[in-house]
Structure 1
Amino acid sequence: MVRLFAFVTALLFSIQVHAADIGDDGLHKTSWMRDTFKDLSEDLEEANSEGKRLMVIIEQRGCIYCRKMHEEVFVVPEIRKFIEDNYFVIQINMFGDVEVTDFDGTALPEKEMVKRWGALFTPSIYFFPQEVPEGLMASQVAVANMPGAFGRWTTFNMLNWVVEKGYSSDEPFQKYHARKFESQKN
């Protein structure tokens, strides 16, 4: 029993060490999030120059589902590394006032941009193609959107599906995930 307690304590401590910090805005902050001017066209250009995909995550202060993603999913070493290696991540505060410039040139405070995109849940994660047609807003060009918190394998498989450009194939994400999940649960 003492051994089990020591193992669980060590495991919980290691998770806490790697969990994201909370910023002054009440949102989780990670090393893989980028601090940019939140101009999505510029961010996409920078992501492309690094060979990464642009990902925008919308969160809010006190969101229990955001906390779940940061403390239970994003801390999984395989997921954390995959994000670091493959994604250029921008965080948007659902009720924030920082100006965001959309792909179509519209500039609004975060809270207004979130409304414009129709995002209702946090976290909401938008994934973007490497090229965006002119005159369209982010919610129109996103290749995938994850509204809400999902578990380890759904999140990991979505991250992979986007990098593999699964959205351009005949296999929808749900079938991709079911196929991958069969081998992952063992």
Structure 2
Amino acid sequence: MKRVLTMLAALCLAVPVMAAELGDDGLHKADWMRETFKDLREDLDEANAEGKRLMILIEQRGCIYCERMHRDVFPLPVIDSYIRENFFVVQLDLYGAAELIDFDGEELSQRDAMRKWGMMFTPSILFMPQEVPEGKTAAQAAVAVMPGAFEAGTTLDLLTWVNEERYALDSEEDFQRYHARRIRERTVDLGD
């Protein structure tokens, strides 16, 4: 029976949800992304009101690694459902001209915010705490940053590590140890 359940779980993980479409801005648009006014303080308040974590997803037009994440990783049912249930996702464009308001109150273009935050790679994901100290930028306040594209297992493990607040200073298991343990415990190959 255990073998049958493992095989069923593997099949469910292998059947991806529909991949994201390209938007007019050339960025992939998953239906779990939120359309907001890009006032990050308001986005954080809304995420908290829904009992979710704010996740800032930074991408750029033509990014082959962004495409790979939207084609091979994000659509996996286990990851898609985990994002939907636990994260409030705001997409930003590495080179975007549209304005945003950072947590420190500065209003600037997305492109200028990316320079200010030191973002150079796409996709990059900033995971925000439930409260951002006054005067901090998104990059300064992030509890974790995923700089680049990773396989499904690493992505899922980082999502759970952040959601379970394992980054807290009193935690005895940093992400690398947590990820290594999760790889050993997995019953389904996620291509870590």
Q: TM-score, normalised by structure 1?
A: 0.90
Give me the identity figure in percent.
Answer: 56
Residue matched to 2:176: 174
Contact 2:17 2:77 in 1 (8 A): no
Residue matched to 2:185: 183
Query: In 2, distance between residues paired with 1:81 and 1:59?
Result: 21
Q: Which amino acid aligns with 2:173?
A: E
Deviations 1:71-104 (A, max 9, x none): 0000100100000000000000111111010000
Q: Does 1:42 align with 2:42?
A: yes
Moved over 2 A (4+): 14-17
Deviations 1:95-128 (A, max 9, x none): 1111010000011101000010000100000000
1:15 CA drift (Å): 6.7
Counterpart secondary structure, 1:92? strand
Query: In 2, distance between residues paired with 1:37 and 1:46?
Result: 12
Q: Which amino acid aligns with 2:150?
A: F
Going by fraction, where is helix more abundant, 1 or 2? 1
Q: TM-score, normalised by structure 2?
A: 0.87
C-alpha root-mean-square deviation of aligned residues, in Å?
Answer: 1.6
Q: Which amino acid aligns with 2:60?
A: Q
Deviations 1:52-82 (A, max 9, x none): 0000010000000000100000010010000
Residue matched to 1:102: 102
Contact 1:158 1:173 in 2 (8 A): yes
| 5+ residue gaps, structure 1 | 1-10
1:170 CA drift (Å): 2.3
Contact 1:15 1:71 in 2 (8 A): no
Contact 1:99 1:108 in 2 (8 A): yes
| 5+ residue gaps, structure 2 | 1-10
1:23 CA drift (Å): 0.2
Aligned length: 174
Counterpart secondary structure, 2:159? helix
Mapping of residues 83-102 of structure 1, within 5 Å: 83-102=83-102
Counterpart secondary structure, 2:167? helix
Query: In 1, distance between residues paired with 2:39 and 2:18?
Result: 29
Going from structure 1 to structure 2, the CA distance change for 1:102 and 1:182 (only over 3 Å counts) comes to same
Query: In 2, distance between residues paired with 1:16 and 1:183?
Result: 22
